[in-house]
Amino acid sequence: MIIKIIGIALIALIIIILIKQYRPEFAIYISLLTGVLILLLVIDQLSEIISLLQSLATKASINSTFLSLLIKITGIAFLAEFAVSVCKDAGEGAIASKIEIGSKIIIIAMSIPIISSLLEIILKILPT
């Protein structure tokens, strides 16, 4: 799998280098297409990981809401990183930094139920 990913990335890199000489505006499209193609290649493994995590959470009696939140947060982090990379490749560092800030705020907001639950458990453990 990693050989396919590296192969696709290297081919895209060569195409981008060649195209930038004549039509630099198309380089970003090739970069985006490459990212999506690599994402499609690993989607099966991603679904296997999610299934395994759900199975482990069930066995360990972990609240499925928390697991769902953690998976969503991880997805947001990956998608934001992808978008940031695309923006930086396009020379739009300012937009990239806004995506980073926005995604961090969303992740923190989504984490509040987990943080609250952890604090409640800690407060129950501590002697009063």
Q: What is the pLDDT of residues 97-113, one digit of tens each?
A: 999 999 999 999 999 99
Q: What is the pLDDT of residue 110?
A: 94
Q: What is the pLDDT of residue 41?
A: 92
Q: What is the pLDDT of residue 75?
A: 92
What digits encode the pLDDT tens for the residues 72-95? 999 999 999 999 998 998 889 999
Cβ burial, residue 99 (10 Å; 0-12/13-18/19+): buried
The answer to whether 12 and 30 have CB atoms below 8 angstroms apart is yes
Please state the rounded mean pLDDT for residues 21-36: 89
